[in-house]
Homo-oligomer: A and B are copies of this chain.
Amino acid sequence: MNAHVPKKTLADTLAHVERIIPSRSSNPGLSLLRIDTTEGGIELSGSNMDIDIRARFPADTQGEGSYALPAHVFSQVVRALPGDLVELEFGDKELDLSSGTFATKLQLMAPSSAPQLAFTDDLAGALDASALVKALGSVRYAAAVADYQAVFRGVKLELGATTTRAVATDGFRLAYYHLETGSGIEGDVVVPARSVDELTRILGEGEAQLGLSEGQLSVRSGGFDLNLKLMDGTFPDYERIIPKTFPVAVTIDAPKLSEAVARVALMADKTANNRVDLFVRDGVLQITAEGSYGRSQESLDVLQEGSDPEIALAYNAKYLIDALGPAAGDVRLSFSGGGPSSSPSVVADLGDPSYLAMVVPLRTG
């Protein structure tokens, strides 16, 4: 089997597939890339057990065949090629690859050594890919990193008839992004956060087609097919813990607040929850932190609303900064209760009502 393909096409496609395939694995087959050549095209596929990926691109091919070889060394070679065009000639045991002044013979493995993957064409749903990226990217930070119940390390996708929502929470903060559009398929699924990261990198322009089957979400977008393994377990009933009444609320530019919190928090004790204190009164938000190096404070003018004249709370600075991250302009920061037994605060992006974040203040009693 022979193929001619532009280096850039091969390198760019391979970069996405290679990122999924583990460079080392206790199962050596998992580090293999499978290459299938068809009439007028090449397919590259691989898996990390949580994500299966297949990429298809057009190529000038002669003959059909299936091959496997170590993904990372192939990828390194392709990236380094000197020419604009790559010639591939697949033999029984070796791939002859040449480009410009360079030529290499790479050992081939039996295609049966690579993971056996199946990609479905039963993709009944669809969403705008960039809206899906925005939704997933806005909430992904709120997923737990480790040492938590599995379901907290994922992002929940609520696929409704006329709405789609991405939600993540680690129990201390929560974020959702709500789209007023259905995808054509319905169901609630939880995707591992690391798979969400890969999905958002791969999703391109236009539509992302979606399919739901037992334990798996399938996505097709821009030449890529993905199978995302879903997480088991029950996602918490989060709606009921989002507060609805707020004695104090302030409106402020999100990047400005975020930078001030980060600056003041440099004095905070990292081993004591990275605590920053907020105090609101008379249209001024004062941020303070104290630790062994000293103490810092910053006062920002805000638009203050609500029934109470003042409120005092403490936060983990990182959680507040994370919650503000997706907002590019003004946010409304609403406090449901302050003091030692303070209750959750809510961040609403005034420029994008789809986004909502909740942060649980630190107990200071």
Contacts and interface: CB of A to CB of B under 8 A. Distances in A.
Interface stretch (A114-122, A153-161, A295-303, A330-338): A295-303
Interface in A35-80: 70, 73, 76-77, 80
Contact of A73 (B103, B266, B297): B266
Contacts of A104: 267, 294-297
Contacts of A292: 107
Interface in A129-143: none
Contacts of A80: 259, 262-263, 266
A106 B293 contact: yes
B77 A266 contact: yes
Interface string A72-95: 010011001110000000000011
Given A82-B260, A263-B81, A295 B105 contact: yes
Contacts of A298: 82, 101-103
B294 A94 contact: yes
Interface centre among A73, A76, A94, A101 (most CB of B within 10 A): A101
A290 to B, nearest CB: 9
Interface in A243-267: 259-260, 262-264, 266-267
Interface of A: 70, 73, 76-77, 80-82, 94-95, 101-107, 259-260, 262-264, 266-267, 292-300
